[in-house]
Amino acid sequence: MVLTWAADKFITGAASIARDLGVSTLVIGITIVGFGTSAPELLVSAVAALEGSRDIGIGNAIGSNITNTTLILGASALAAPLFVNPRVLRREIPKLLGFTAFAAALMADGSLDRVDGLILFSIFVFSLLAPFFSRSRPEDEVLGELGEEMPEPLPLRPAILWTLAGLAALIASSWVLVWGASTAARALGVDEVVIGLTIVAVGTSLPELAASVAAARKGEHDIAVGNVFGSNMFNILAVLAMPGIVHPGETPELMMERDMSVLVAVTLLFVALVLVGGRPWRLGRWSALVLLATYAAYTAYLFVV
């Protein structure tokens, strides 16, 4: 997919330029790599808002999280049973649920305005920079977590070319995806919210799907699970903020009542399956089938009802 290829080339080029300019590996990993791996979701939501299809952008943020938690974790655990680090349930899940509840509270008045978007994006920036200010986490530990994602450096001139080409391709492919999705919605008589929650969400989540399934097959369980919940955190703070910042407006009431509730429910379902589904702290194949069936049922419901 062009969107995925463009994001990869943009990250490689930007990281190489930063290295050539003397920026530390830690800074590159946390900012460029951490930010860039979810660039498709971010740009698609921004472009959708600019094109007047803000419901696609909001649906993309919420739908990507539902897709990540059900389809991607389900597919990964089906490829190879996953051991889930207890730290994910004790620290990451409560934090994700807290941010989700906070985002829902901001939109409880029926709108996602510029102030709401800036608040969410500010929290994202703070969480991105938090490792710089954490005395309990040495640089070597943070670098160890980023090592799998750091691209190989390039000479300066090719790095600049790949950065520009990747950024141009990201913008162009995001526009094409949004244009295609909005056109399909109108032609099929389907609400743009549903298109954003399903087709666009799956399209922008393909990098996470490929990365998590590959990590599961290699036995890299922390990467497979961490990739999903790291992406979910990004989506609820940065991607959801884009429609508010770029094109403030009303939030579909049904999305708040139905899809935000489904997002919380599937996150809690994941926790329940890890704790009681077969062996504790493992997401086995039967649990994987439950997650995949949940995704299929939710998607079918969106198109049928």
* C-alpha distances in Å from residue 126, one per residue of 31, 121, 238, 240, 291: 11, 9, 11, 16, 32
Determine the residue type at 163.
T
Most confident of 6-10, 134-138, 251-255: 251-255
pLDDT above 70 (res 279):
no
More confidently predicted of 108 and 169: 108
Give SS3 for 283. strand
Q: Provide mean pLDDT across the span 221-234.
A: 80
Report pLDDT for 212. 77
Q: Which residue has the higher pLDDT, 51 or 179?
A: 51
Task: Report which residue type is found at 233.
Answer: M
- Mean pLDDT highest for which of 62-71, 157-166, 198-207? 62-71
147 pLDDT more than 50 = no
Q: So what's the pLDDT on residue 233? A: 87
Side chain identity at 80, as an amino acid letter? A
* Stretch 194-220: mean pLDDT: 80
Among 3-17, 40-54, 63-77, the least confident range: 3-17
pLDDT confidence bin for 99, thresholds 50/70/90: very high
Integer angstrom CA distances of residue 53 from 109, 243, 246, 295, 305 = 20, 9, 11, 24, 21
pLDDT of 30 above 50: no
Q: Can you read off the two tokens belonging to residue 48?
A: 């959708």
Retrieve residue 196's tokens. 């954003």
Instruction: Give 3-state DSSP helix, strand, coil % of the chain, rounded to 5.
Output: 80, 5, 15
Q: Which residues face 249 on adjacent strands?
A: 112
260 pLDDT band (50/70/90 cuts)? very high
| The predicted structure's pLDDT at residue 297 | 96
Beta strands in 199-238 (DSSP E): none
SS3 250: strand
- What the chain holds in terms of domains, given with CATH numbers, is 2-304 (1.20.1420.30)
Q: With bands split at pLDDT 50, 70 and 90, how would you rate the model's confidence at 142?
A: very low
pLDDT of 7 strictly over 50:
yes
The band of 269, judged by pLDDT with boundaries at 50, 70 and 90, is very high
At 121-133, the pLDDT tens digits run 999 888 877 655 5
Alpha carbon separation from 284 to 73, 76, 270, 294 (Å, rounded): 11, 10, 11, 15
* Highest mean pLDDT, choosing among 14-18, 68-72, 181-185: 68-72
Most confident among 181-190, 199-208, 210-219, 280-289 (mean pLDDT): 280-289
Please report the pLDDT score of residue 8 as a whole number: 64
> Mean pLDDT over residues 222-238, rounded?
83
Q: What does the alpha-carbon distance between residue 47 and residue 103 come to, in Å, rounded to a whole number?
A: 21
Q: What is the pLDDT of residue 85?
A: 81
Residue 36 has pLDDT above 60, yes or no: no
DSSP class of 305: -
181 pLDDT band (50/70/90 cuts)?
confident
Cα–Cα distance for residue pair 37/57, rounded to 1 Å: 18
> What are the residues whose beta carbons fall under 8 Å from the beta carbon of 1, sequence distance 6 or more?
173, 203, 206
